[in-house]
Chain A
Amino acid sequence: MTPPAARQTLPETGQTPGRPPLAADTPDGPTGAKEAAAPNSSNLREALHFALRNKKLVFGLGITVAMLLFAIIGPSLAQHDPLAYGGKLSWAPTGRGGYWLGTTLLGQDVFAQFANGVRLAFIVGALGGGIAAAIGMLVGFTAGYRGGIVDDILGMLTNVVLVIPTFALLLVIAAYLKVRGIITESVFIGFTSWPWAARALRAQTFSLVSREFVGLARLSGESSWKIIFKEIAPNMSSYLFMMFILLFGGSILIAATLDFIGLGPSNTISLGMMMQLSVQNSALQLHLWWWFLPPGLAIMAIVGSLYVMNVGLDEVFNPRLRNM
């Protein structure tokens, strides 16, 4: 259930000690100096230049933004309440009575549910992904910076959370909480999907901590947390950004999966739940395509475009992946 691991794309900038004087005539950096790979103004300009030309980034970003806009204004465009049993049953999407995507087997407005579902998807992504990112950063930075026994303990914690069977846990929670909202679901996802992010950040932090500018920051009297957030994190800002996007998309996927098997929120209809209900009510056999196709396509579109965007971002941030 874990999202695909982010590629380790932190570009190399450092030389290891003991190397000969930085040879500007080696294949890596013949411009008389090294190519700085972390963002600063000249690099941002360069990054922007590539960003606008990168088809994957533009395409992915375009779709994501379009879906986001829909999530914001969609629900208010709907003519009916998503849970209301107002309309006729199983109407095809002919637009009659304001049911633009038709109705479900139980007479609910598919478009209203759809628009609401897309909005919920973004909420789950932001909240779930945000929580997972926050915990992942906290654990990853601490483990990477401190090392030693702190790292060992946090590593154990990460491993434990990683192997917890989330379905089983969610079943238990579902049994106790009769009413579960989207917030609960997001929080649950956030608290169970951070381990891989923590692992990845720990590794990146490790490699940066050994760089001498961290030692220099300590020699300048900077406190540990200040060093982490002012020296280390900005150096992997592109990585953090991409990681958040992955967590965002991952949360949406996990939520859809949980909803589909019936462990979703109890007081609203999300995209995954639409698919669950449609399958439960034999929509496939009854050819009620307007009920299960839009939510499925929407999930695919949102998550897929996020991942495509990420691949594009990777190429923008990591000069080595660009085609010259």
Chain B
Amino acid sequence: MSLTVDGLKVYYRTLRGDVHALDGVSFTIADGEIMGLAGESGCGKSTLGNSLIYLSGRMKYIEGRVEIDGEQLPIWDFSAMNEYRLKRVSIIPQYAMSALNPTRKIGKMTAELLRSRGVAYKSVVGELLRRLELVGLSEDVLHRYPIELSGGMKQRAVMVLSTILDPSLLVADEITSALDVSTQKAVMEMLSEFRERGFVKSTIVITHDISILYQVADTIMVMYAGQPAEKAAANVIIESPRHPYSRLLISSLPEVGVRYDEKRLVGIPGTPPGLLTPPVGCRFSDRCPVAFEKCVEQPPFVEVEPGHFVACWKES
């Protein structure tokens, strides 16, 4: 399976105008690739992930093309997307484990979800049980209410549920943020395992935690203010990032073994621009240490090395 996104623009409607949450994103994901989508709050990563599956009330599709296996995804059409949801593309939404209906047992909820997709519960229950066992959950999870399960258990149940119909693309939106560090590791390793076993073909992992992407993702795309800043193989992003934002971001991350009196880390001064009226040109230029005159013009997202894309005049 391959995913191609070309010039995707999705804005949010607000009282004060349209917020340019996603302003021209283009990238490809190959078959079996786990791509990490990293960035700080407001960068558009959640909007990107969500728009591929489910354009909610306030989101407005402006332009852009999304193709999955060469076939165009009609993301602007809510009912047309019904055909694809859960079967071709699936999402583990942010706060999924807190969003489980507290009055439904897990099994009942699963049956209802599958029925809404036109799939009989009986036809998948065998596979469902196998997969639950794989992630370390016993069958009686299906007979429990969400409140009886721990955070990690709920997250794992949601992961199994989202992938039960073997979607080609899985979007995982901040699935580890509210979890303990040991459960985080288990959940991320599970993501890898799902790919190994063919439950999903490709995955987009959205998170603000770059170090966890390094562990599991093949490639990482760093976003800033609604636009992509850099995309490359995971270890390349970590070890030799080229975009000034990625550089500063990576170098501001504390690590076990690094103490502040040995190596004092520095943050990035300033704040990201407001997206109601986004600035012209490179959106990082006002915080960038190496900005120069050309930065008033929007830098294109180009391939500077095989598989390594950067949106910076200094690097292209």
What distance in Å separates the Cβ of B166 from its nearest Cβ neighbour in chain A? 28
> B94 near A25 (CB under 8 angstroms)?
no
With contacts A20-B177, A20-B208 taken as known, whether A27 is within 8 angstroms of B41 at the C-beta atoms is no
In the complex, per-residue mask of A6-18: 1 if CB is within 8 Å of any chain B CB, else 0: 0000000000101
Which residue of A21, A24, A27 contacts B58 across the interface (Cβ within 8 Å)?
Answer: A27
CB-contacts of B194-226 with A (<8 A)? 207-208, 226
Q: Is A25's CB under 8 angstroms from B177's CB? A: no
Are A25 and B15 within 8 A (Cβ)? Answer: no
Which residues of chain A from 285 to 321 have any CB-CB distance to chain B below 8 Å in the complex? none
| Contact A19-B178, Cβ < 8 Å, known A26-B94, A31-B14 | yes
Q: How far is the CB of B297 from chain A (nearest CB, A)?
A: 24
- Contacts known (A31-B14, A31-B16); A25 close to B45, Cβ less than 8 A: yes
- The answer for the CA separation of A324 and B276 in the assembled complex, in Å, is 18
Contact A19 B43 (CB under 8 A): no
Does the CB pair A27–B42 fall under 8 Å?
A: no
User: In the complex, which residue of chain A has the Cβ closest to the Cβ of B226?
Assistant: A25
The A72-120 residues at the B interface (CB cut-off 8 A) are none
1/0 per residue B51-90: CB within 8 Å of A? Answer: 0000011110000000000000000000000000000000
Residues 6-43 of chain B: 1 if any A CB is under 8 Å from the residue's CB, otherwise 0?
00000011111001011000000000000000001111
Closest to B42 in A: A24
Residues of A within 8 A of B98 (CB): 16
A-B contacts counted at CB < 8 A amount to: 62
B241 close to chain A: CB less than 8 A = no
Whether A22 pairs with B41 at a CB distance below 8 angstroms is yes
Cα(A21)–Cα(B208), bound, Å: 8
Interface residues in A, total, Cβ within 8 A: 16
Determine if B286 is an interface residue (Cβ-Cβ < 8 Å).
no
The answer to whether B56 and A27 have CB atoms under 8 Å apart is yes
Shortest B27–chain A CB gap in Å is: 17
Residue of A nearest to B57 (CB): A27
- A245 to chain B minimum Cβ distance, whole angstroms, is 26
Residue B168, interface by CB 8 Å: no
Q: Are B21's CB and A25's CB within 8 A?
A: yes
CB A246 to nearest CB in B, in angstroms, measures: 28
Q: Scan B269-283; emit 1 where CB is below 8 A from any A CB, else 0.
A: 000001110000000
B112 within 8 A of A: no
- In angstroms, how far is the closest chain B Cβ from the Cβ of A181? 50
Task: Tell yes or no: A23 within 8 A of B by CB.
Answer: yes
Say whether, besides A18-B178, A19-B95, A27-B59, A32 and B13 are in contact (CB < 8 Å).
no
Assess the B14–A30 pair: CB atoms within 8 A: yes
Min CB distance A324 to B, Å, is: 7
Contact between chains at A23 and B276 (CB < 8 Å): no
Q: Could you list 22 A-B pairs, sorted by A, with CB under 8 Å?
A: A16-B98, A18-B177, A19-B95, A19-B177, A20-B208, A21-B41, A23-B46, A24-B42, A25-B41, A25-B44, A25-B46, A25-B47, A30-B14, A30-B19, A30-B47, A30-B58, A30-B275, A31-B14, A31-B19, A32-B275, A46-B15, A324-B58
